[in-house]
Amino acid sequence: MAKIPRVTREEAEVAIFERFAEAYSRHYRSSLGVPIHRDKPDFAANDLSTGQLLGVEVTGVYQDAREAEINYWLEGVWGTIVGNAEGLITHINRALAEKAEKAREYEPIGPFILAIWVGSFVFHHKAEVRHLAGCLVIPANPYSLIALVITDDAGQAPELYILQELPGWRVPGAA
């Protein structure tokens, strides 16, 4: 059996950004322009409706290391996937804390967004995530929007599950 190449960090970030951009477009009825891949935050992209330059930090979370290995093609045999809600909650909370801390170093380019792709095979639809949301801890942070990128109920398209959204952050003509 041919070995599938490992996904690089850059490839993973681009894939998560693309899922986020599709979900953002569906949620806000506004597309994002061609992103610039950078660091601190990971991407800069214009909201084509408001003209705002957005700083987008992306990350992915999984319920455990095995699920991450499958997602990143490090393991070829899936076997049985058993749900681990506590593990996923722990990983989301860790990402929220780490990204809040990291955001203090960001270059101020416009509103900051944190997009967390939920790569769980078990907990990735709105009904499941809604049950987990009450256990999530959102620390003080500079983000205008924090959203989980999940799968719609049909299992077809990414959608946003908003954890934090500051009022009025999307300002038309703010470019």
- Mean pLDDT, residues 66-75: 52
The tokens for 174 are 């703010």
Q: 6 pLDDT exceeds 80?
A: no
pLDDT at residue 11, as a whole number:
84
Say yes or no to pLDDT of 51 above 90. Answer: yes
pLDDT for res 8? 80
Sketch the domain layout of the chain as residue ranges: 9-165
pLDDT at residue 96 is higher than 60: yes
Angle at 105 between CA 28 and CA 11, to 5 degrees: 60
Amino acid at position 71, single letter: N
The pLDDT score that the predictor gives to residue 81 is 59
pLDDT-based confidence at residue 66 (cuts at 50, 70, 90):
low
pTM for the model stands at: 0.86
